[in-house]
Amino acid sequence: MECKSGAMSTAGKNPGARHEADVIYGIDNWGQGFFAVSEDGHLTVRPNPTENATIDIHEVVTQLFTEGSRSPLLLRFPQILDAQILKLKSAFDKAIEEFDYSESYQGVFPMKVNPRREVVDRLLETGRSVNLGLEVGSKSELLLALGMKPASDALLICNGFKDPAFMEMAFWAHRLGRNVVIVMEQVREVKEYLRIASDFGCKPLLGLRGRLYTKGSGKWEESGGETSKFGLSTMEMLECIRALREAGIEDSVAMLHFHIGSQITEIRRIKAAVREASRVYAKIRKMGVSIRFLNVGGGLGIDYDGSRSSSDNSANYSVQEFANDVVYTVGGICHDEGVPEPILISESGRALTAYHSILVLSAESRFDPNLDVRATLEPMKKASPLVELTEILDEITVKNFREYYHDAVQQRDELFSLFDLGYLGIEDRAQAEVLFHEICEKALLFAKATKNQSDDFLRLAKALRRKYISNFSVFQSVPDAWTIGQLFPIVPIHRLNESPTEFGILADLTCDSDGKIDNFVDTRRVKTVLELHEVRPGEPYYLGVCLVGAYQEVMGSFHNMFGRVNEAQVTISAEGETETFGLQAGDRIFEVAGIIGYERDLVLDRVARRVDEATASGRIDSESATAFHGQYLAWLNASTYPD
Ligand code: PLP
């Protein structure tokens, strides 16, 4: 599909509301210049920061849905991957020049962060000009990496648990001409390396993964520090060097590596870790081991909430500050210690990929049907609390709403006591619930209008959050929102030139009470409601969950058998031509069933038997049996998500 971007209608122009949308959803804060709001009130993406061409996400989605695709839909913007690779590389180049550092920087992409073919292929293609390599942490990743063709100087770093097969694969990669570094994480891996080296008659480069005292910060703090699961203690590192020296191949040790955790929120932790690692590097160099790469691992944080702070969902530094601190610190310590400066490596995965994809959901708000029955209920008697509640509802205003709301709480409690004692009927109780709910809604509107932030009204806002039933599974598409409470910016992809009138949370399709998103980004706090629009009857309402390009796709699970979502890639040319390609249909029911052991034929066979039994017992006739069979096949071939 090709559609022209920039074909904007002027309908609904409202610059004030667009500005309001920026403020409400914090787009400028977390968007890094990639996201903005168009005059039509649509969310746009500017994937190439050096050009002005923007992609209208709503236009793309509407077009794709017209052509038969459905929500949930994952949109990838490969040009954002390009931009991030170049941003990281140029930040290091700038720092190297500024601090007169004598060596260069090379990145490697850790496959675990997003191993999707489209992503890795694009990263390696664009990364060819900057020697972007790969980091693998398992046999599966290594086997795939073996078939890829990055730049000839790019590194292939092998981390993780290495059984003999993993080690042999790494040796094969070396023999095939790849720039392999096998990182030792346990002393026993050295023995395995030596055994295979003598079998293969070659010795790929080796790395040592050190365990630093410095811990990271944020949710992955425990990945670093002396109790970390990963890396060699100082004694173990010395033992590895001794064993390699004894075997006469200490000259193969080329890299010192550390990683103190992903999403490091505080720059001072990075500085401290780099300082410690640089000192270890210098001391090992002084032992005569000619390490030439210092690998600072991953951890470069993303400012998901836009607060530019050390909160768990943010990072209090920029990419440039990260690069400056690494280069300056390593350079300074090498100078102090009088050792050569190493080539700098980082394994930044989140920073390269997080921005590049958006999950588009369709949402509908759920109204409590109780609210419509007020007129149809005939109370048994006009109990005094009911009379009071009716009056409060009629008379509550912006001036008296605090007092009237408190009165309403009292009247409701009184009415429930009377019900408990048997004085009132079920209709009285129903009527009171409806009246009280309406009073709360009015009070909340007044509280919002007067910017009342008291505990009472914050609690009320939380209680009255409207559920937007959204066509997705948290467990499949944003698992970190569930497992670690990670926040992702969520924004309607249209109607951003209209003021939102509702406070909502997102409920997914799974039958799991954890299948919801009820925390949202904000620069000052975590919002427990998101400002959303009233869903108009018969009109779709689409939300974009942004910054989901790192970790989410590969960590997603099949809870309730919701499968992978539909996907498409979107690019834009300098002339503003939007191109959508690489459409992939999400999983169908039989595919997800196959993953958990119900192969299609087995499923069909089992159902055929149940149908035969029902036919034999006369429960259904053979015509119905044939019709059901056809229908069952069609259902099995359909998407796991509702139409
Ligand atoms: N390197 C190693 C060894 C890791 O374990 C990880 C992930 O935690 C990374 C790199 C990627 O880290 P990030 O995505 O924070 O850059």
> What pLDDT score was predicted for residue 375?
52
From the CA of 560, how far away is ligand 1's center (Å)?
30
- Decide if 75 contacts 570 (C-beta within 8 A): yes
Q: What is the DSSP letter of 161?
A: -
- Residue 535 to residue 368: CA distance in whole angstroms: 14
Examine the pLDDT at 150 and tell me if it is beyond 90.
Answer: yes
> What pLDDT score was predicted for residue 313?
95
> What pLDDT score was predicted for residue 1?
43
Residues 6+ apart with CB under 8 A from 6: 53, 54, 56, 576
- Residue 300 to residue 281: CA distance in whole angstroms: 21
> What are the angstrom distances between the C-alpha of 362 and each of 118, 307, 380, 541, 626?
25, 28, 43, 6, 35
From the CA of 166, how far away is ligand 1's center (Å)?
19
Residue 62 confidence class, pLDDT cut points 50, 70, 90: very high
Q: What is the DSSP letter of 16?
A: H
From the CA of 345, how far away is ligand 1's center (Å)?
12
- Decide if 534 contacts 502 (C-beta within 8 A): yes
In this structure, the chain runs to a length of 643
Does 489 sit behind a cis peptide bond, omega within 30 degrees of 0 on the bond before it?
A: no
Question: What secondary structure does DSSP assign to 575-586, as a single string?
Answer: T-EEEEEEEE--
Residues with CB under 6 A from ligand 1: 110, 113, 135, 159, 259, 262-263, 297-300, 347-351
Q: Classify burial at 470, counting beta carbons within 10 Å of its beta carbon; exposed 0-12, middle 13-18, buried 19 or more.
A: buried
Q: What percent of the chain has pLDDT over 70?
A: 93
* Rg, the chain, Cα only: 30
Report the atom number in ligand 1 closest to the C-alpha of 257: 3
From the CA of 542, how far away is ligand 1's center (Å)?
32
- Residue 466 to residue 469: CA distance in whole angstroms: 9
- Residue 543 to residue 547: CA distance in whole angstroms: 13
> What are the angstrom distances between the C-alpha of 607 and each of 359, 598, 629?
35, 12, 8
Q: pLDDT digits over 341-361, tens only?
A: 999 999 999 999 999 999 999
- Decide if 96 contacts 105 (C-beta within 8 A): yes
Q: pLDDT digits over 490-517, tens only?
A: 999 999 999 998 889 999 999 998 999 9
Q: Which amino acid is at 209?
A: R
